[in-house]
Structure 1
Amino acid sequence: MTAPAPHFSLSDLDSRARRVFRDIVESYLESGAPVGSKTLALSSGQNLSPATIRNTMAELSRFGLLASPHVSAGRIPTQAGLRLFVDGLLEIGDLGKTEQANLEARLAGSNQSPDRFLEQASGMLAGLAGGAGLVLCPQSQLSSPLRHVEFVALDNGQALVVLVFEDGHIENRLMPRPEGLLPASLERAGNFLSARLKGRRLEEARADILEEIAQGHAQIDASAASLIEQGLATWSGQDDGAESKRALIVRGRAQLLDNLEAQTDLERIRLLFEDLERKEELIALLDRTEQADGVKIFIGTENPLFSLSGSSLVIAPYRDAKQNILGAVGVIGPTRLNYARVIPMVDYTAQLVGRWLNKA
């Protein structure tokens, strides 16, 4: 099979080739079966003979957009073909009012815990999209704006830091206390942080605070500055000893086993299950891609994590009221996803998750 040129685009195809290519990909995404020229001639409504379609299919194969899984079989889109289709030919509209209301009803229940709500969102995506639903949870409550910070001296060279968030949530953290740090310095450190963190998330203010200390503009002594620097590193997961684990919710693995038509499909699903068990790598992938503006799509080997299972991932970030990204939701499954349905569904679910978490 010949790979398409690096800058290959739809403009390299004439109108007939585009129509045949679109029909083949849409038929494959619907059925999962190779598409033959006779079948296409009968179903496409293009008034093209099987011979003409075969010639066009051969041309598309030379471009690296189609492949034949077996000798004398019909054609299926390659990974490059799917990417070209998704980027240039896929028609994606917003969800209708009825579908939006359906998703909202499925996620209704304002009294449930955030963990339960996110599990429900993951399961809903799995059930509706025919793949496994993924939700990357917020790192912690530190993703929320802060109201107040206070340090309390403890025995054994430790300090207790009290983090009060705007939503009323309180977190207490233990940390080593710099040698020689006086109670007055603890109070100044708390006041200094409270003034700069009030109404802001830790990650938003961290760089500004550290720069102010480095420039010598902070009205605090060296011990208090050391305490603040150590605390900012620990709370934001910047030091090697910090626990900065993120929770990943995966629901609907059984959905991937539905409608398998060949043993090779089962083997790909087995490999995909192995990928899903490598949660640390998957979390790292989602962390890198959740900064995307809107929905992001990985097809097959476009990401090394799924290179063996040949899977696709559709992911969208969810945000807080200030449009800061908190996490991501998505669907993972075989490359034969119904992209036209899954993409707007993932996008709207991300909006619902962000909206609910902002109210919680």
Structure 2
Amino acid sequence: MTDRSDSQSLFQRLDQRSRDIFREIVEGYLETGEPVGSRTISKSGIALSPASIRNVMADLTELGLLDAPHVSAGRAPTHKGLRVFVDGFLEYGEPSQADKKYIDDRLASAGTNIEAVLGEASDLLSGLAGGAGLVASPARDAPVRHVEFVPLSGGGALCVLVSEDGDVENRMLKVPDGLPSTALIEAGNYLSARVKGRTLSEAANEVREELRSRRAALDAATAALVEAGLAEWGGEAPGRGRSLIVRGRANLLEDAKAAQDLDRVRQLFNELERQQNLLDILDTTREAEGVRLFIGSENRLFPLSGSSVIVAPYIGGTKNVIGALGVIGPTRLNYARVIPMVDYTAKVVGEILSSRRIKDGK
């Protein structure tokens, strides 16, 4: 992995001629996805012969910044080279006014349902970046007003949690076949009475101790339902009370041109199904301010997938990080455009969630 200080040191070692040629190669690759040859560079306005350009390309390859992907005489940037390019050459500020308006309008169109807002954010990032959009919802641990278990067809139940601030969240639970509706009502009443005005994490240990010591006048099926509700809402379920929204997986297939590329995409798809690992990656945004970029092997979750991950935190009304969002795409993403859009989308989502107007189900 090349950190920022390493990449800046490498950049400083390049003379102006090497920098110009390196930049032409990387920008050409990011635009076309194809290796760039010396003749292409010589036609770009660099006043050097193809032979001199090839000598510089050989030096850049020796430094590990370029590679010859196939039998082509051209060169493409390595993951190390892309990091040097991003840290040394790339300049980015605010998104264009058109992109800002598009993001604002899309998120405003989602209404006041928090899941709809987050889903829209994932979808629009997928479309703008040409990759998969990722959004991790905030962890919820507000004081509880009411808990209810609602029977569903097919043998399941919906655990409905209403917080004191009016938020409503739902979780699907599996229940034993033939469980009577009275057990669902009793489980809801039991939990509501014991957690009202407290967070579930505050009340969970007390409720479990009461169940273990048999002080709760509940039959086995109802007690099991209460335990399932505590596990789902108390942070023991995958995602620790959060959800992960992934949109645009199909975009990742569009850049795959060979069997090897398809194998990498399949590996990436497998990792995308492991929500906890993705949540852990998004959680790295808590360790640093602003946008974080992982290129190829820098990303410990998909080191062999040839992908880049751009993530940013979104901030709640208390100025704390409450969630994260970002994109996964090929390493030839348009970083100058995508990084500001991820950053801006995170800011808008944070502002929306900070307003008291967001209420689930309203």
Partner of 2:225: none
Alignment partner, residue 263 of structure 2: 267
CA contact (8 A) 1:65 1:81 kept: yes
The CA deviation at 1:175 is 6.6
After superposition, give the CA deviation of every residue in 1:57-102 in whole Å (9 maximum; x if it has no partner): 1111111111111234311111111111111211212112222111
8 A contact 2:131–2:251 mirrored in 1: yes
Cα pair 1:314 1:346 within 8 Å, conserved: yes
Whole-angstrom CA distance in 1 between matches of 2:248 and 2:296 = 20
Q: Decide whether the 8 Å contact of 1:292 with 1:317 is kept in 2.
A: no
Q: 1:248 aligns with which of 244, 247, 257?
A: 244
Work out whether 1:335 is the aligned partner of 2:336.
no
CA distance in 2, matches of 1:241, 1:24: 47
Q: Does the 8 Å contact 1:257/1:269 carry over to 2?
A: yes
CA distance in 1, matches of 2:301, 2:190: 37
Residues 173 and 310 from structure 1, CA distance in 2 versus in 1: closer, same or farther, beyond 3 angstroms?
A: farther
Shift of 1:243: 8.2
Aligned residues: CA RMSD: 3.6
Matched, 1:258 2:259: no
Structure 1 residues 24-33 or 100-109, which shifts more?
100-109
How many residue pairs get aligned? The number is 301
Partner of 2:58: 58
Shift of 1:41: 0.9
User: Structure 1 residue 126: deviation in Å?
Assistant: 0.6
Aligned runs of 1:187-206 on 2, under 5 Å?
none
Give SS of 2:139's match. coil
Q: Does 1:356 align with 2:352?
A: yes
Return the letter of the residue paired with 2:305.
Answer: S
Measured against aligned partners, the alpha-carbon deviations of 1:270-308 in whole angstroms (never above 9, x if no partner) come to 221112112221112222334420000111111221012
Residue 73 of structure 1 aligns to a residue whose secondary structure is coil
Instruction: Return the alpha-carbon distance in structure 2 between the equivalents of residues 259 and 304 of structure 1.
Output: 21
| Contact 2:310/2:342 (<8 A) preserved | yes
Instruction: Decide whether aligned partners of structure 1 residues 42 and 239 sit closer, same or farther in structure 2, where only a CA change above 3 A counts.
Output: closer
Residue 215 of structure 1 is matched in structure 2 by none
CA distance in 1, matches of 2:162, 2:254: 47
Give the secondary-structure state (helix, strand or coil) at the position aligned to 1:121.
helix
Q: What displacement does 1:244 show? A: 2.3
Separation in 2, partners of 1:287, 1:174: 34
Do the aligned partners of residues 241 and 69 (structure 1) sit closer, same or farther apart at CA in structure 2, a change above 3 Å counting?
closer
- In the other structure, the counterpart of 2:283 is 287
8 Å Cα contact 1:317-1:325 kept in structure 2: yes
Contact kept, 8 Å, 2:299 with 2:309, in 1: the verdict is: no
The one-letter code of the counterpart of 2:30 is: L
Mean CA deviation greater in 339-348 or 254-263: 254-263
2:88 equivalent in structure 1: 88
Give distance in 1, aligned partners of 2:137 and 2:306: 25
- Give the 5 Å matches for 1:111-126: 111-126=111-126
TM, length-normalised to structure 1: 0.72
Q: Percent identity?
A: 48
3-state SS in 2 of match to 1:336: coil
Aligned-partner Cα distance in 1 for 2:250–2:92: 27
Give 3-state SS (helix, strand or coil) of 2:74's partner: coil
Aligned match of 1:37: 38
- Between the aligned partners of 2:239 and 2:247, the Cα distance in structure 1 is 25
Residues 290/333 of structure 1: CA separation in 2 closer, same or farther (3 Å cut): farther
What is the distance in 2 between the residues matched to 1:239 and 1:277? Answer: 19
1:324 and 2:325 are equivalent in the alignment: no
Q: In 2 relative to 1, CA 305–125 (structure 1 residues): closer, same or farther, beyond 3 Å?
A: same
Structure 1 position 18 matched with structure 2 position 14: no
Letter in 1 for 2:58: A
Shift of 1:170: 7.5
What is the 5 A alignment of 1:173-192?
Answer: none
CA deviation after TM superposition for structure 1 residue 321, in Å: 1.8
State which of 294, 299, 319 in structure 2 corresponds to 1:303: 299
Q: Distance in 2 between matches of 1:250 and 1:149?
A: 31
SS at match of 1:313: strand
Checking the alignment, whether the CA contact within 8 Å between 2:33 and 2:332 is kept in structure 1 is yes
| Counterparts in 2 of 1:244 and 1:75: CA distance versus 1, 3 Å | same
8 Å contact kept, 1:136–1:327? yes
Per-residue deviation, 1:238: 8.4
C-alpha contact (below 8 Å) 1:291/1:317 kept by paired residues: no
Question: Which amino acid letter does the alignment assign opposite residue 267 of structure 2?
Answer: L
The offset of 1:239, in angstroms, is 7.8
Call closer, same or farther: CA 1:42–1:261 in 2, change over 3 Å. Answer: farther
1:77 alignment counterpart: 77
Q: Secondary structure in 2 aligned to 1:332?
A: strand
Matches of 1:48 and 1:241, distance apart in 2: 61
The TM-score, its normalising length taken from structure 2, stands at: 0.72
Aligned to 2:104: 104
Task: Check whether the contact 1:235–1:242 (CA below 8 A) recurs between aligned residues.
Answer: no
